[in-house]
Amino acid sequence: MSVATRVKVCGVTTVEQAVACVDLGVDALGVNFVASSPRRVDERLARAVVDAVGQRTLVVAVVAGMTVDAMRALVERTGVGCLQLHGNESAGEVAALLPHAYKAVRVANAGDVAVAEGMPGDYVMADAKVPGALGGTGHAFDWALVVGLARRRKLVLAGGLTPENVRSAVELVRPWCVDVASGVESALGVKDLGRVRAFLAAARTLDEK
């Protein structure tokens, strides 16, 4: 039985990028609202992305350092379908936004995996822990740390994934979804559609044993 791993392309910065990625078959797109991110967009652009592709794919807002009320208002104004909480949000804040939200946890050791395990909701993201950065760094972590977590939760695997290594990550972890930003870029914030196509092909080649 063939297993089609879901693919999210994060950090799209134009409507044209978003449409092209959806045309290639991605399952979700990320629009980034984190102040420190070089891929940060404004609400007008996010709304335009939702208007262009929101009927065909899930648009996820990546946020950090916002109150629950502010995050709810962002969803209302932009029309995004889901929130990815990438800051220091508590389990209670995540719970207040369910079911259309999940926590991204930066992972470097088993203690970090335990934090991810304790987050509410069906979904959780594991990303690389890089000092001074919230995500989108292009750095990977030890995928073996989250193999068990992927058995128990709908895991979104992120951190340093590329067309060259995503098949190995999927074979080991078998995540519900893989998330990529810099790994499919030709320049910062510019998606390379050839690499997106290659990433999709590599991520979806696993046959269930």
Closest CA to 127 of 91, 177, 72: 177
Cα–Cα dist 13/190, whole Å? 7
Of 10, 21, 82, 177, which one is the catalytic site residue?
10
**Beta carbons within 10 angstroms of residue 171's beta carbon:** 12
Phi, psi of 152, rounded to the nearest 5 degrees: -100, -20
Closest CA to 123 of 106, 142, 88, 98: 98
Known active-site residue 179? no
Known active-site residue 177? no
47 near 59, Cβ under 8 Å?
A: no
Cα–Cα dist 14/61, whole Å? 14
Cα–Cα dist 118/124, whole Å? 10
Of 82, 112, 127, 179, which one is the catalytic site residue?
127
126 near 107, Cβ under 8 Å?
A: yes
Token pair 């409507």 is found at: 15
Question: What residues are labeled active site?
Answer: 10, 127
